[in-house]
Amino acid sequence: MDIGTTLDLEQAKAIGPLPTGHPVVRTGKIGVLLANLGTPDGTDYKSMWRYLREFLSDPRVIELNKAIWYPILYGAVLTTRPQKSGKNYEKIWNRERDESPLRTITRGQAERLSEALKADTRLVVEWGMRYGSPSMKSGVESLIAQGCDRIVMFPLYPQFSATTTATANDQFYRALMKIRHMPTVRSVPPYYDEPVYIEALARSIERHLATLDFEPEVILASYHGIPKAYFERGDPYHCHCQKTTRLLRERLGFDDRKLMTTFQSRFGAQEWLQPYTDKTVERLAKEGVKQIAIVNPGFSADCIETLEEIDGEVREIFMHAGGERFFHIPCLNDSDEGMMVIEALVRNELSGWV
């Protein structure tokens, strides 16, 4: 029997008597699906190869023609990158749970959201990843099996990009395409300028800076980059990032020299959004800046790009170039500030359903 055809007797009674042998359908629940980018299942070669193949095969992520890209992907990239990426993941791996921090944190966000919404017994919370496991498909199947005939999907990316938000929605709808009794769905829109998000970021920054025994001369708001060509073709991501930083400056009372926008995690030879985070910290150190902090407003949860790249590689670049004090401000994660954002946006999208 297909998912969604196992049934709820009270719903059946509400619509009147059913023909003999008619399956009972479980309905009446409302699902919330938190979706993040993804994670490998392990740091070994096979796990990394499987994850990177899925990620880098996505035409939203790599827009090159497959005839050009696939020989490169299955040649140089998947021959060497799994070992390198695996070693980087090993530096941050949650050994207690044997999983990546992103999986640990996303699970925590789902658990805390479920607790916050538990007063309404109709609401069910699940989580899934665009790449890797648990998959978006497994999250959708779980919600439908529990009787959800309406689902709010929350792509946990504050700023919209086709490489993140759009592909998460693509995968969500792929999961729905094979379901005969398809639920009604909504997707939480980008929240880069939502007051609750800006306030949460500001409070988190203030709270963490208050724990330091130094005052950063410069704070970088470092966002994951995208190729410049994607922006020129209409991706709004760059504009969303710039607005987030501007609103954050206004809330914190900083100028554009105190809080700067930079972009990280470039891949390949083409030009990406600038200024680059690694080049910027090197320049600042050489210009005499000794103390900096970096926050990642484009990430809802700490992951390889924040924990290993920023708090590892970028820290090393800054210190090697002459810097003295470096602090990475954690992402909102499943902190009180982070959950304030997630709960507020979910409740807003549930309006009219709850």
Question: pLDDT for 144-158, tens place per residue?
Answer: 999 999 999 999 999
How many structural domains compose the chain? 2
Distance, CA of 271 to CA of 73 (rounded, Å)? 19
Domain that holds residue 70: 43-92
pLDDT at 5: 40
Q: pLDDT band at 17, cuts 50/70/90?
A: low
Across the chain, mean pLDDT equals 94
Which candidate, 130, 133, 186, 134, places its Cα nearest to that of 161?
A: 130
Q: Do 199 and 325 sit in the same domain of this protein?
A: yes
CATH code (residue 204): 3.40.50.1400
Q: What is the pLDDT of residues 301-345, one digit of tens each?
A: 999 999 999 999 999 999 999 999 999 999 999 999 999 999 999
* DSSP secondary structure code for residue 17 in this structure: P
Whether the ω angle into residue 158 lies within 30 degrees of 0, i.e. cis, is: no
Please give the pLDDT value at position 15.
Answer: 52
Query: Please, which pLDDT band fits residue 22 given cuts at 50, 70 and 90?
Result: low
Other CB atoms closer than 10 Å to residue 348's CB: what's the count? 14
Instruction: Please state the rounded mean pLDDT for residues 280-303.
Output: 98
pLDDT band at 268 (very low <50, low <70, confident <90, very high): confident
From the CB of residue 130, how many other CB atoms can be counted at a distance below 10 Å?
25
Task: Return the pLDDT at 23.
Answer: 61
Residue 288 makes CB contacts below 8 A (sequence gap 6+) with: 322
User: Is residue 140, in this structure, part of any structural domain at all?
Assistant: no
In a domain, 200, yes or no: yes
Burial of 58 (0-12, 13-18, 19+ CB in 10 A): middle
Query: How confident is the model over 243-253, as a mean pLDDT?
Result: 98
Tell me: cis bond preceding 275? Omega within 30 of 0 counts. yes
Q: Final residue of a domain: which of 58, 92, 126?
A: 92
Number of H helices, E strands in the chain: 13, 8
The yes-or-no verdict on residue 26 having pLDDT over 90 is: no
Give 4's pLDDT tier (boundaries 50, 70, 90): very low
Residues 204 and 325 placed together within one structural domain of the fold: yes
Q: Does residue 268 lie within any of the structural domains?
A: yes
pLDDT above 90 as % of the chain: 90
Instruction: Give the tokens for residue 305.
Output: 């790009």
